[in-house]
Amino acid sequence: MLNKADIEKYFIAEKHESLLFLILGLFAVLLSLIFYFGVKINIAKGAAIPLLLFGLIQASVGYTVYQRSDDQRINNVYAYDMNPVQLKTGELSRIRKVNRNFTRYRLIEAGGIIAGIILALVFYKNPDKQFWVGLGIALALMSAELFVADFIASKRAMRYMHLLENFSGKTESMHP
């Protein structure tokens, strides 16, 4: 049964993961700049592109989720006692959408892993195409990192969704 501690636990874990996501995204952006401007080999220049693009997305998403997690936690803990119908309907609808999005993201990320591996394998023996090798390796690695992060987050979100689905809409026991 859902209780306030479950809500707290979900949003605190989401906040911690989003902070890590933000830090890793900023690190990827920094690494991309070093690779592009500081390293004079084509493989690094190719790797800089996915590092920059994925890093910016990752940092942006991490920051956004980090910023909103506390408000969502507070609002949903409040709704548990004061507006359980809103918790049951509004939050359940939101988390279902989140879970559908995780499925889409993982499909895209799996495609990035495959595309990156293919690029790296097709061009790895050609010295004139090392840019594409770097791009492929970084694309595969960044996609894999995002895939793992989204897999972990989706498991947490699925558990939370199931708790919400079983929530009666009435104040339930505070004990887990």
Across the chain, what does the average pLDDT equal?
94
Local confidence band at 37 (pLDDT 50, 70, 90 cut-offs)? very high
- Rounded to whole angstroms, how far apart are CA atoms 138 and 135? 5
- Rounded to whole angstroms, how far apart are CA atoms 76 and 92? 11
Compute how many other C-beta atoms are within 10 angstroms of the C-beta atom of residue 168: 10
pTM for the whole structure: 0.89
Q: Tens of pLDDT along 72-126?
A: 999 999 999 999 998 989 999 999 999 999 999 999 999 999 999 999 999 999 9
Domain ranges of the chain: 4-165
The confidence score (pLDDT) of residue 170 equals 61
Compute how many other C-beta atoms are within 10 angstroms of the C-beta atom of residue 59: 19
Q: Tens of pLDDT along 13-26?
A: 999 999 999 999 99
**Mean of pLDDT values over 35-54:** 97
Task: Determine contact, residues 130/42, Cβ cutoff 8 Å.
Answer: yes
**Mean of pLDDT values over 122-135:** 96
Q: Tens of pLDDT along 157-170?
A: 999 999 999 998 66
Local confidence band at 8 (pLDDT 50, 70, 90 cut-offs)? very high
